[in-house]
Amino acid sequence: MIEAILWDNDGLLVDSEALFFDLTRKAFERAGYLLDSMYWGVEYLGNAKHSSEIARELGMPSELAGRVIEERNEAFLQCLENPVPLLPDVFQTIGGLSGRVRLGLVTGSPRDKVERMHRDNGLLGYFEVIITDDDIAFPKPHPEPYLKALERLGLEPGKCLAVEDSRRGLASAHAAGIPCVVVPNYLTRIQNFDQAYAVEGRVSGVLKHYDALSLKESDL
């Protein structure tokens, strides 16, 4: 029986990935370099390359890249002073699952940024466990973030379901032994999700998989 659902954050619950890409694209453009959304979706969000690696691959000198990325980071922090929109169906889906199954958040963002993103929407109160970049040594696609969540929940991988938006997150959950439903966004939709338990167009699609898995277990 599925006892917990573990959720990614950026690009799945909140529309922060689109915001972050747009700020990066504009910062690169001001420096004279064009950044394509498909390239970003594959290399940064899928293959876990750092912004500095992508800048170098585009031919940007290291010193300039450092300034451009710092400028982007400052702009992103400023944007977090305003609410980051939740993606469609998120609040209804999380609220509908609350009380039926344990919920956890497993994100590569630092805790302070996560708290700023959600400070006005009340969503964090639904999560029993929150794993952030501050809690781990090895980020996704390494399994440590999910293994840490399992440890804190006291559960085996087969008792959990993960939900991610990218191949990087999927690889992390898969390596931890947790089946994963992927809900791609417009930046990650071109990635390969061959290891996914299922791929859904909206977050609400997770509900039918949780219900089906729960019903399957109850019939055993």
Number of domains observed in the structure of the chain? 2
Q: Are residues 52 and 155 in the same domain?
A: no
Residue owning tokens 């170098």: 56
Q: Provide the 8-state DSSP code for 10.
A: B
* Cα 6 from chain centroid (whole Å): 11
Cβ burial of 199 (10 Å; 0-12, 13-18, 19+) is middle
Q: Are residues 115 and 181 in the same domain?
A: yes
Q: Are residues 10 and 22 in the same domain?
A: no
Q: Are residues 123 and 61 in the same domain?
A: no
Q: Are residues 133 and 46 in the same domain?
A: no
Coil/strand/helix, residue 32:
coil
102 backbone dihedrals φ, ψ, rounded to 5°:
-70, 145
C-alpha distance from residue 210 to each of 114, 173, 195, 196, 214 (Å): 25, 16, 18, 15, 6
The predicted pLDDT at position 196 comes to 98
Residues 6+ apart with CB under 8 A from 49: 43, 57
Amino acid, res. 29: E
Q: Are residues 65 and 160 in the same domain?
A: no
Q: Are residues 26 and 102 in the same domain?
A: no
b/e per residue 21-43 (b: at least 16 CB within 10 A): bebbbebbeebebebeeeebbbb
Q: Which of 24, 55, 79 is the last residue of a domain?
A: 79
Q: Are residues 93 and 166 in the same domain?
A: yes
**Which pTM does this prediction carry?**
0.95
Could you say which of 8, 10, 15, 165 is catalytic?
8
The predicted pLDDT at position 217 comes to 58
The predicted pLDDT at position 48 comes to 92
The predicted pLDDT at position 39 comes to 97
What is the residue range of 43's domain?
16-79
Q: Are residues 40 and 113 in the same domain?
A: no
Q: Are residues 59 and 164 in the same domain?
A: no
Alpha carbons within 13 A on the beta-carbon side of 164: 31
Q: Are residues 121 and 73 in the same domain?
A: no
Q: Which of 62, 79, 96 is the last residue of a domain?
A: 79
8 annotated active-site: yes
Q: Are residues 184 and 208 in the same domain?
A: yes
CATH number of the domain enclosing 210: 3.40.50.1000
Q: What is the mean pLDDT of each run of 10 residues along the chain (220 residues)?
A: 97 97 98 97 95 97 98 97 95 96 98 96 97 97 98 97 98 98 97 97 96 69
Q: Which of 44, 64, 79 is the last residue of a domain?
A: 79
